[in-house]
Chain A
């Protein structure tokens, strides 16, 4: 694209010079700045790269076909040696391309493409690592399960991502570990020995928070942060079976509370300044957005009455609950709650000045949300078991969250916040309306009013932002 622009610019500049629009000295300046004389060399380089690319694809196909053709003939040892040496070669070659910006006269561009090539080769090596592990498993230990493969592969890729601070490897590693978690979570229901993979699946919430979040900081990527945070929150919910727990009568009442309150507590109080050598809040805005997202989802889910009544999981027998108790990650809860407390203390202690009360007000607001989210399931399970009360509280919380978002959106002229709040409230109204049995006339009236409200509010907001920008 860039070269295309330069070629066109050269054509145009030559035309201007010939027409006398610009002086030839000016043309020379332009030529210097955009390096017109190197265009041919660059084009040649690109052509070479394409040829090399086609050649290497053919080479790779040759290798693959060779291996496939002889796979049955070779002995086990030969297969192992071959695959491992392939892995080693590609890793080392990739590293050599990736590591050192070799100073040569081609300048910065070839360095960049070298680095890209190295990164691609390292990624290929990560794939071949997986093939190696899979083949080893098949040859030597056919009883190993798929989730163990994914977890081992993911851990291997993650170590390399840590070492080289490589973003693609980090994302790949996080995805692989999550794939391992989701294929392995079913295993938790069964008894069995405590292998390393089981342990990892059981403590995935702790692992995600303590490994993925620093990894995100290490490779400076918001993608890794978001993936890690989502992995943490979802694995916590699924390991604790928080939604199911609500309908067990004898469940330890604080378990569900922890599952619901811990993620927002950790997200909201997250502060990059807790890491060393950082003077910039890299991920805090993202973490706070994730808090609001988590709140919206959990409030919406808990505002349905059927989680609170014993209807849903009545069929689940008692043994399921026993297995939850046996495998629940108590250590995770302890460590993560301690971390949350530290973060909150930091948040309130490092308030820069008394006058920045607006920020604190938000934090107090969120803190009370977290407190109520933890308290209501506890009260419900410990004493009253009146589902009406819990459902009412969570509906109020959902409405408060929606209107709070709208208010913030209006105040800071943020379109995203405003629309998110509006959608949340509309969703709530429509859901409650559809949940109850009303006449069709009433339903159509509610739909009509909602639609009218959304259009009116949206138009008003857009008008307002336009005015604010204009003034």
Chain B
């Protein structure tokens, strides 16, 4: 008796909208709506998203070619070059002088960076993993014409400098476990070209045995104002391979 009364009461308290809501289930409502809107979807509603998707796909290469046109030509000194031919995936892994944190430690700006983003351990892990910063490279004054000369790091910046002189570029790097990656470490190269490169490097190393000078292997790239980079070619002494 009491419960039925309270039920009636609760029914009374419901607004007309929610009563409509309770009578018509979600699925039935969707069905009636679908019946109403049988209008076919116009073609542009497919075309515009397709164009946007195409834009997304081609944004990356267009950006790359843009950088290629307006960027500054820069040359990086490599520290080691390894090729892998795993599962027909021909890639060249390159490690630069500026990839090692030890080589950047004495540059101006490094101590400030360490103070701002300290790592776990002052000696073994000075910087916090994942820290992003900028390495400013400068063109050398004397350059030999046949063999390119690498640009030298001159300072470290925590933020991207607004403008750098004509003979300098700023590269963005990310620190992890004592190494800095610049997104310029892996290159996919066709099989025959990779074999050629390997032969050249092997010969170079035979000739250089015992000498302490730097290996004459360089990567040439284009860097634009925003810090975007595009690899151009690989130099092994005076031989040039397009990347």
Q: Which A residues have a C-beta under 8 Å from some C-beta of B? A: 71-73, 75, 80, 84, 87-88, 91, 95, 99-100, 129, 132-133, 136-144, 152-153, 155-156, 159-160, 162-165, 186-187, 189-193, 220, 222, 273, 279-282, 284-285, 319, 352-353, 355-359, 411-413, 464, 467-468, 471
**Minimum Cβ distance to chain B for residue A220 (Å):** 6
**Minimum Cβ distance to chain A for residue B14 (Å):** 7
* Contact of A412 with B46 in the complex, beta carbons under 8 Å: no
Chain B 10-26, CB within 8 Å of chain A: the 1/0 string?
10111111101100101
* Contact of A160 with B183 in the complex, beta carbons under 8 Å: no
| A137 vs B6: C-alpha distance when bound (angstroms) | 65
- Given A164-B46, A220-B30, A84:B60 Cβ within 8 A: no
* Contact of B61 with A355 in the complex, beta carbons under 8 Å: no
For B116, give the chain A residue with the smallest CB separation. Answer: A319
User: Which residues on the B side are within 8 Å of A80 (C-beta)?
Assistant: 61
* Contact of A84 with B13 in the complex, beta carbons under 8 Å: no
| A138 vs B188: C-alpha distance when bound (angstroms) | 9
**Minimum Cβ distance to chain B for residue A350 (Å):** 9
Q: Of B48-56, B96-104, B207-215, which stretch is located at the interface?
A: B48-56
* Contact of B46 with A159 in the complex, beta carbons under 8 Å: no
* Contact of A282 with B131 in the complex, beta carbons under 8 Å: no
* Contact of A356 with B15 in the complex, beta carbons under 8 Å: yes
Q: Which B residues have a C-beta under 8 Å from some C-beta of A? A: 3-4, 6-7, 10, 12-18, 20-21, 24, 26, 29-30, 33, 40-41, 45-46, 48-50, 52-54, 56-61, 63-64, 88, 90, 116-117, 130-133, 158-160, 172, 174, 181-186, 188, 190-191, 226-227, 229-230
| A352 vs B17: C-alpha distance when bound (angstroms) | 9
| A464 vs B3: C-alpha distance when bound (angstroms) | 9
* Contact of A144 with B10 in the complex, beta carbons under 8 Å: no
User: Which residues on the A side are within 8 Å of B10 (C-beta)?
Assistant: 358, 411-412
| A187 vs B132: C-alpha distance when bound (angstroms) | 10
| A153 vs B3: C-alpha distance when bound (angstroms) | 55
Question: Which of A140, A193, A464 has the most chain B CB atoms closer than 10 A to its own CB?
Answer: A140
Of B53, B132, B158, the contact of A129 (CB 8 Å cutoff): B53
9 nearest interchain CB pairs?
A: A143-B183, A358-B13, A163-B49, A159-B49, A160-B49, A163-B45, A140-B64, A192-B132, A156-B53
- Given A136-B58, A285-B21, A464-B3, A280:B29 Cβ within 8 A: yes
* Contact of A159 with B132 in the complex, beta carbons under 8 Å: no
* Contact of B117 with A319 in the complex, beta carbons under 8 Å: yes
- Given A84-B57, A87-B57, A468-B7, A99:B46 Cβ within 8 A: yes
Of B24, B53, B133, B160, the contact of A280 (CB 8 Å cutoff): B24
* Contact of A467 with B188 in the complex, beta carbons under 8 Å: no
* Contact of B61 with A140 in the complex, beta carbons under 8 Å: yes
| A458 vs B131: C-alpha distance when bound (angstroms) | 56
**Minimum Cβ distance to chain B for residue A405 (Å):** 16
- Given A99-B40, A133-B56, A222-B26, A191:B158 Cβ within 8 A: yes
| A50 vs B52: C-alpha distance when bound (angstroms) | 35
**Minimum Cβ distance to chain B for residue A98 (Å):** 9
- Given A141-B64, A191-B131, A193-B172, A160:B188 Cβ within 8 A: no
* Contact of B15 with A282 in the complex, beta carbons under 8 Å: no
**Minimum Cβ distance to chain B for residue A225 (Å):** 11
| A273 vs B20: C-alpha distance when bound (angstroms) | 13
**Minimum Cβ distance to chain B for residue A149 (Å):** 10
Of B7, B20, B24, B183, the contact of A142 (CB 8 Å cutoff): B183
For B52, give the chain A residue with the smallest CB separation. Answer: A159
| A467 vs B41: C-alpha distance when bound (angstroms) | 52
* Contact of A357 with B20 in the complex, beta carbons under 8 Å: no
| A357 vs B159: C-alpha distance when bound (angstroms) | 59
User: Which residues on the A side are within 8 Å of B159 (C-beta)?
Assistant: 191
**Minimum Cβ distance to chain B for residue A92 (Å):** 8
* Contact of B53 with A72 in the complex, beta carbons under 8 Å: no
User: Which residues on the A side are within 8 Å of B132 (C-beta)?
Assistant: 190-192
